[in-house]
Structure 1
Amino acid sequence: MDGTQIYHEKLSRLENVIYGKEPDRVPITAMMSLFHARYAGYTAKDIYFDYTKNHDAAIKTAKDFDFDSLLILNGLEGTNMSLTFMKNAPELASGARFMLATYHAILNDAYTKWPGSELDDNAHPQFLGKEIMKQDEYDQFIADPADFLNRVALPRTCSALRDPGSPEANAAMLKFGAEIGKAGAAQGALIGELGKMGIPTFPTAWSYAPLDVMSDFLRDIKNIVLDMYRKPDYVKKSADALVPLLTESAKLTGNVPPEVKKALGTNIVECFFPLHLNEYLNPKMYDEFYWPSLKAVLLEVIKMGQTPYILFEGRHDAHLETLLELPKGKVVGVFDKTDPRKVREVLDDQIILVSGPPNSLLIGSNPQKIDDYMKSMLGDCKSGGMMIYPGVDGGISGDARPENVQALIQAVKKYGEY
């Protein structure tokens, strides 16, 4: 088959699962940030700072591993930046959703460290928690979250912007805007090249759990948990205040031009949600502080016609039943540490199940053990449709053994047919 035929075969396989049907076989949806670099012989520094090397590494990996979709994620969480620019500079909002190494070099943000900069050339980039918003600033934030992010948080977050309106800050913003353009062009070129090879990409919008915005970017995890006891009403109000902004984020970033949808061949728009605080909260705290505002955003995103694609990071066992409150079959759920059999037991086909082997297996195991693992998982969970996400705890690790990744692909082809 040529690239066009392969593309439509893989796209149909993915769409069928999202639409609640069983395809010809279980699709493999891969995400990676360093595996492709090391497989192609590049350092982490190479692919994070050089868009051409990143492109070449991704294409080599796509040629050698028969994934049904492939996402190269070369950034760290940056929803705070996207929300900051959404109203006053919407042209920057989508490109700022992830903090890239090249952005960090311009803005000198306080959240991230990068290989070849603060870290060793082959290190994985790091996201650092930091208190940006003070405890006595809740009222100011709740009154106008967007204004607070712009006027208060941004100068504290990025030292290059600490003096708004100064020549230095203006120059940094100009460089930042230009770099967003370069990164966007590189991403578009990569998606186009993958498409020619037969690997589809879904249009993707971005949103976030409201309370994760507070813990990841403003108060940090330790303080937000303490605030649930010290200032519970303020925590709830701050999360509620973010619901309209995060709903607008999904709307803005998911406004895909018709010509793009036509080129990609699909009407599906996924909306990406990574959950972080969920594992830290007991059911009572989750239900009281975390779930109401997240549920509100999810329902609005579904109402828009988008498909929430949620990474349930950590162990989500205690909170599974809350997903019964969402419309059936409208959410894709990637479960990090929760056994997919448990998900099936509690939710059946309420959500579109995505799971896979953890990176510990891809790194330290062997092809036979991978085959055994996949045979058991697919036998127990594939009925009704599911997707496999290799390295389910964060995407395929840079330390994963290529022969184990190949064994996973072969096992899915062997045991994943319907």
Structure 2
Amino acid sequence: MDAAALYREKLDRLEAVIQGKEPDRVPVTAMMSLFHTHYSGYTATEAIFDPAKNKEAALKVVRDFDFDSLLVLTGLEATFMSLSLLHSAPELVPGARFLEGPYHDILKDVYTKWPGRELADDSHPQFIGKEIMKVEEYGEFSEDPSEFLNRVALPRICGALSEPGSPEAIAALARYGSALATSGAAMGELVSEFAACGIPTFPMAFAYSPLDVIGDFLRNINNVVLDCYRHPDEVKQAAEALVPLLIESAKLTGTIPPEVQQALGTNVVECFFPLHLNEYLNPKLYDEFYWPYLRQVFEAVIEMGQTPYVFFEGRHDAHLKTLLDLPKGKLVGVFDKTDPRKVRDVLGDHVILSSGPPNSLLIGGTPQKVDDFMKNLLDDCKEGGLMIYPGVDGGISGDAKPENVRAVLDAVKKYGTY
């Protein structure tokens, strides 16, 4: 089969599941940060800071593993940056959504640590987090979140921007803009190379849960949970103030030029959401402080015609029923620690289910154990549509055994047909 026919076959398979149909077989959608680098013999530092090596490693994986789609993501969360640029430099927002290693060198942010910099050469980059906003600043933030991010938060987050308007800060922003352009060009080239190998890519918009913006980038997780008890009104006002910004982010990043959609061959636009605080909140707190504001963003994104692609990180068991508030079949859910069988029991086919083997199995298991896991998962959950996400707890680990990753693909072809 030539690359164009293979591309169409894989794209049809993915679109069918997203549209609530059963394709010829269950598709495998992979994400990785370091698996491709280790598989190709590179260190984390080499792939993260050298686009040519990252591309070479990614293409080797594409040619050696029959995934239906692949996302190579070497960056860390940076919604603080994309929201800061939303009004002042909207053209930079799509590239600013993730913090790449070279951006860290330029901005000198306090949130992250990187291989070859603060960490050993072959370490995974780490998001540390930090208290940036003081509790007494909630009111100022809620009055104008964008202004607060730019005037108060960014100088505290990025050492290179600590003196706004200074020659050093202006130079750092110029270098950052140049790095975004370089990275964007490299990503576009990689998507084109994937297509030439028969691997489709969906356009991706970006949003976030309002309370996670506060917890991840402003107050840190421990503080924001305490704030829900000690300063409930201030937390709610801040979350509500973020809703329109996050909807605007989804609209901006999800407005895809017609020529790009035509080249990709699809009208599907996925909107990426990572959920972080869900595991830390009991149902009462979740229903009061988290879900009402996230629901507003979900509903707006769905109304735009985008498909929320949501990482339900940690255990989401206690909050599953809230998803019944959303229109049926309009959200893709990747569930980290929640058993997909429980998701099916509670939600049926109300969400588009994505699941797969955990990294503990891909790292420490055997191909036979992977085959057994996959057979049970597919037998129990494939009816009604399912996507397999290998390394469901964060994407395929850099330490995963290649033979176990291949076993996932082999099992889908054996047990995942309709």
Q: Residue 164 of structure 1: CA displacement?
A: 0.6
Partner of 1:347: 347
Query: Post-superposition shift, 1:191?
Result: 0.3
The TM-score with structure 1 as length reference comes to 1.00
* Cross-structure match for 1:255: 255
- The answer to whether residue 65 in structure 2 is matched with residue 65 in structure 1 is yes
Shift of 1:129: 1.6
Kindly state the Cα deviation for residue 24 of structure 1 after the two structures are TM-superposed: 0.1
- 1:68-217 equivalence runs, <5 A: 68-217=68-217
Q: TM-score by structure 2 length? A: 1.00
Give ranges in structure 2 of 5+ residues lacking alignment: none
Matched to 1:351, the amino acid is: V
Match of residue 372 from structure 1: 372
**Per-residue deviation, residues 16-59 of structure 1 (Å, max 9, x unmatched):** 00000000000000000000000000000001100110000000
* Structure 2 residue aligned with 1:17: 17
What is the match of residue 42 of structure 2? 42
SS at match of 1:94: helix
Tell me which residue corresponds to 2:284: 284
SS at match of 1:119: coil
CA apart distance, 1:91: 1.4
2:274 paired residue number = 274
CA shift, 1:5, in A, is: 0.3
Could you list the runs of 5+ residues in structure 1 that have no partner in the other structure? none
CA distance in 1, matches of 2:63, 2:86: 37
Looking at structure 1, the residues matched to 95 and 167 of structure 2 have their Cα atoms a distance apart, in angstroms, of 23
Q: How does 1:301-340 map to 2 (within 5 A)?
A: 301-340=301-340
> Match for 2:367: what amino acid?
P
- 1:31 is aligned to 31
- Runs of 4+ residues deviating >2 angstroms: none
Distance in 1, matches of 2:84 and 2:65, equals 38
- Work out the CA distance in 2 between the residues paired with 1:309 and 1:24: 22
Secondary structure of the residue aligned to 1:71 is strand
Q: Cα RMSD between the aligned structures?
A: 0.4
Aligned pair count reads 418
* Alpha-carbon separation, structure 1, partners of 2:269 and 2:411: 29
- Quick one: distance in 1 between partners of 2:304 and 2:100? 29
Give the distance between the partners of 2:308 and 2:34, measured in 1 at CA: 25
Matching residue's letter, 1:3: A
Deviation, 1:282, is 0.6
C-alpha distance in structure 1 between counterparts of 2:71 and 2:345, whole Å: 29
Report SS of the residue matched to 1:353: strand
